[in-house]
Structure 1
Amino acid sequence: MTVFVDIGPLDAIPQQGARVVKTAQGCVAVFRTADDRVFALEDRCPHKGGPLSEGIVHGTSVTCPLHNWVFDMNSGTAQGADEGLVRTFATKVQQGRVLIDATLIRRSNAA
């Protein structure tokens, strides 16, 4: 069973934009589509390390700001001729609040 943690109000994320959540596992880009769906992806393009949170959101895709790689936010896979994958994280919206998979937040580095 997935446990979720509240990361803030939906309105804090601009439509067709993103905000960054810093976690023990690295930065996560949380995106909001034009129709208020929310997706969370690792905030690093596998091609050249570009910050996906600064990319262009269109539909359920985001385009990397560095070299225009396009990622499906549902699966994290690169679309078209490019090959790549970014990690995705479960999200949901409840009562205007954005929730993200808590295992991402709770993990810490093992010694």
Structure 2
Amino acid sequence: MTMNWIAIGDINDIPLRGARCVRTPTGKIAVFRTAHDEVFAIEDHCPHKGGPLSQGIVHGTAVTCPLHNWVISLETGKALGADEGEVRTIPIRNDNGALFVALESLALAAAE
């Protein structure tokens, strides 16, 4: 399947070890930037109580939910440690600082 990519901004719009929330036709996603300029996109809600992951603390390739301190892997979307649950990861591409997410993945998420 060919991916259609939608532009969502520039990597410099996101602080190091920070996040931004992006509204899409299918809901909000959180886009994260690590200390090493890696970028990840996941659904912007914790699997525990729906907390806004985009407002969490980024450490390594994980984010800690601001509500109840669940730690979510930015690579897999899965809760780490003893917690169970996961959020959908969204394919993201960094083209010399310009960020794009895969349109098909967003549409599939809305259909499920």
TM-score over 0.5 (shorter chain): yes
- Could you tell me how far 1:106 is from its partner in structure 2? 6.0
- Structure 2 residue 23 is matched with structure 1 residue 22: yes
Tell me the C-alpha RMSD between the 2 structures: 1.6
Matches within 5 A, 1:1-111: 1-104=2-105
Match of 1:103, SS state, is helix
- Amino acid in structure 2 at the alignment position of 1:77: K
TM-score (norm 1): 0.91
Unaligned residue ranges in structure 2 (runs of 5+): none
Percent identity, aligned pairs only?
53
Deviation string, structure 1 residues 40-98 (Cα, Å, up to 9, x no partner): 01000111110000000000000000000001111100000000100100011102111
Return structure 1 stretches of 4+ with deviation > 4 angstroms.
104-107
Judge conservation of contact 1:44–1:50 (CA < 8 Å) in 2.
Answer: yes
Distance in 1, matches of 2:51 and 2:107, equals 25
Distance in 1, matches of 2:44 and 2:87, equals 8
Judge conservation of contact 2:90–2:106 (CA < 8 Å) in 1.
Answer: no
- Amino acid in structure 1 at the alignment position of 2:88: R
Unaligned residue ranges in structure 1 (runs of 5+): none
